[in-house]
A and B are shown apart, each in its own frame.
Chain A
Amino acid sequence: MTVKVLIPGPLRRYTANLESLELEGSSISEILADLTGRYGDLKKHLYNEDGKLRNFVNVYVNDEDIRDLNQQETSVQASDVISIVPSIAGGSSCA
């Protein structure tokens, strides 16, 4: 089953600037595995060293946070839209 995944602006440089992708999977963990399988550089942005989803990257099924559902084991349907929403701060001046 393919599901639509929206890629946020800050992460698009790792997905060849694509705003949305059709990814394979029936749960969030399967879909994110497909995503990081296709775009390996995204892995360190989504997961920490222990393989857990990072605390500053939220994943939503439609408008629901997966932390309020079944975390990464949340099941999805073909009609669902998955959003990845990282924290952004504004524009601190460094580099």
Chain B
Amino acid sequence: MLNPDIEKIELSKEEYERYSRHLILPEVGVEGQKKLKAASILCVGTGGLGAPLTMYLAAAGVGRIGLVDFDVVDASNLQRQIIHGTSWIGKPKIDSAEHRLKDINPYVEIVRYPVRLSSENALEIFKDYDIIIDGTDNFPTRYLVNDACVLLDKPNVYGSIFRFDGQATVFHYEDGPCYRCLYPEPPPPGLVPSCSEGGVLGILPGIIGVIQATEAVKIILGAGRTLKGRLLLYDALNMSFRELKLRKNPECPVCGTHPTVTSLIDYEEFCGIPQAKAEEEAAKATMGEITATELKQLLDQKADVVVIDVRNPDEFATTRIPGTTLVPLPTIEQGEGIEKIRSLVNGSDLVVHCRSGMRSAKALGILQTAGITGKNLKGGIHAWADEVDPSMPKV
């Protein structure tokens, strides 16, 4: 707990030796190390942010670390999620993380929650922890973590990343602002590109995650000045840090003076996910689909078909289906891509594809309103790698 009766906390000889560099720091000392031992931190997610930050928290001797993750380790995680190693591909992240953390420091307790965090389980899981760290990767879970922290009155150590940019702050700490004070609403699905579409520098979550770990440790020690009320912006490309003032919104629906959100809500609904999925399904129903195997047959028969790849140029340069033409989705959204496709098609059949089929469905929707019809490659280039060309890397 945050203000423990440290008289009752004991450090063993081994712990004194392990934490000796902390013990000689006046800001930590024996008292601070005992505070760390008495403290409990819950990390939601053991991905890009959770990986480095839980490793440092375990090393620092935080007594109880809770991990929430239901995912399995994928090869594409290893570029940034350094808690997981190659031998753990295909196995649960929570097992991999627990194994690594116990190896770093056997004197800390690791508590596992191999579940998807939800409005049904969040309060029950959070209530036993002093500090919650948000290491998630999507808007519904971020709003869920925020609201649960406000309802239970717990600090929420926030970090978020995109490509080369990162944000970090401490929400709802000592009457400070919460995530909804900063951003009252999430963007509608699809408006902001995700990391799997836009990419992320592998080191970036390391920097932001370690800033989150630093803030959590400072809260436990009661040392220094936290990021409460300050939004830290990090730009890796220019190696610059900036900070912006963050104020509590008196009209905030969850932490304001007259809150309207007094229990956890449906965050998928709040973020517009079901509506977006329904629109996507409706759009898919009106446009034809073709499987990778069927497309391969058409191409082998030298059928009169134009195949357009709507991914980004960088993705196209990495791997592509032979004989396809690149017309990135943003150029279709801007209009010039539509005319390019119109002149390429010129009476032929049209097949559009992306990585897994979502962006191409969006492109076909736009093309349809411009009077161009075509088929969507079901499952995108990943399906091509599965069904037609197993030697193709799935990126």
A-contacting 9-mer, from B7-15, B187-195, B256-264: B187-195
Contact residue among A85, A87, A95 (Cβ-Cβ distance under 8 Å from B354): A95
Given the complex, which residues of A lie within 8 Å of B191, measured CB to CB?
Answer: 44-45
Given the complex, which residues of B lie within 8 Å of A56, measured CB to CB?
Answer: 183-187
Known: A64-B245, A90-B138, A95-B356. A10 touches B192 (CB 8 A): yes
Contacts between chains A and B (CB distance < 8 A), count: 117
* B184 adjacent to A55 (CB under 8 Å): yes
Known: A56-B185, A87-B183. A93 touches B194 (CB 8 A): yes
Number of A residues near B (Cβ < 8 Å) is: 30
A-contacting 9-mer, from B29-37, B99-107, B156-164: B156-164
Known: A55-B183, A55-B184, A89-B160. A10 touches B193 (CB 8 A): yes
Complex Cα–Cα for A55 and B251 (A): 14
Given the complex, which residues of B lie within 8 Å of A86, measured CB to CB?
Answer: 187, 192
* A83 adjacent to B244 (CB under 8 Å): yes
Given the complex, which residues of B lie within 8 Å of A68, measured CB to CB?
Answer: 245, 247
B290-311 interface bits toward A, Cβ cutoff 8 Å, 1 = contact, 0 = none: 0000000000000000000000
Cβ of A92 under 8 Å from chain B: yes
Cβ of B339 under 8 Å from chain A: no
Complex Cα–Cα for A95 and B312 (A): 12
B188-212 interface bits toward A, Cβ cutoff 8 Å, 1 = contact, 0 = none: 0001111111101000000000000
* A90 adjacent to B136 (CB under 8 Å): yes
* B245 adjacent to A88 (CB under 8 Å): no
Number of B residues near A (Cβ < 8 Å) is: 49
Q: Which residue of A lies closest to B238 (CB)?
A: A19
Complex Cα–Cα for A44 and B192 (A): 11
Complex Cα–Cα for A55 and B182 (A): 9
Given the complex, which residues of B lie within 8 Å of A54, measured CB to CB?
Answer: 185, 187
Cβ of B139 under 8 Å from chain A: yes
Complex Cα–Cα for A9 and B244 (A): 17
Known: A9-B165, A63-B243, A65-B244. A91 touches B182 (CB 8 A): no
A70-95 interface bits toward B, Cβ cutoff 8 Å, 1 = contact, 0 = none: 00000000000001011111111111
* A85 adjacent to B233 (CB under 8 Å): yes
* A91 adjacent to B161 (CB under 8 Å): yes
Cβ of B48 under 8 Å from chain A: yes
Contact residue among A41, A60, A67, A92 (Cβ-Cβ distance under 8 Å from B137): A92
* B161 adjacent to A88 (CB under 8 Å): yes
Contact residue among B48, B164, B186, B354 (Cβ-Cβ distance under 8 Å from A91): B48
Complex Cα–Cα for A67 and B249 (A): 9
Q: Closest CB of chain A to B380's CB: distance in Å?
A: 9
Contact residue among B165, B183, B245 (Cβ-Cβ distance under 8 Å from A10): B165
Which parts of B266-317 form the interface with A (CB within 8 Å)? none
* A90 adjacent to B137 (CB under 8 Å): yes
Contact residue among B165, B186, B195, B231 (Cβ-Cβ distance under 8 Å from A8): B165
Q: Closest CB of chain B to A38's CB: distance in Å?
A: 14
Cβ of B246 under 8 Å from chain A: yes
* A55 adjacent to B185 (CB under 8 Å): yes
Contact residue among B142, B198, B334, B356 (Cβ-Cβ distance under 8 Å from A41): B334
Measured CB to CB, the residues of A under 8 A from B are: 8-10, 13, 19, 41, 44-45, 54-56, 58, 60, 63-65, 67-68, 83, 85-95
Please list the 4 inter-chain residue pairs (A to B) with the smallest Cβ-Cβ separation, ordered nearest first. A91-B195, A90-B137, A55-B185, A92-B138
| 20 intermolecular pairs with C-beta atoms under 8 Å apart | A10-B165, A10-B192, A41-B334, A54-B185, A55-B183, A63-B243, A63-B245, A64-B244, A65-B247, A83-B233, A87-B182, A87-B192, A88-B167, A89-B142, A90-B47, A90-B195, A91-B196, A92-B195, A95-B196, A95-B354
Known: A54-B187, A88-B167, A89-B194. 5 other contacts (CB 8 A): A83-B233, A89-B186, A90-B160, A94-B356, A95-B359
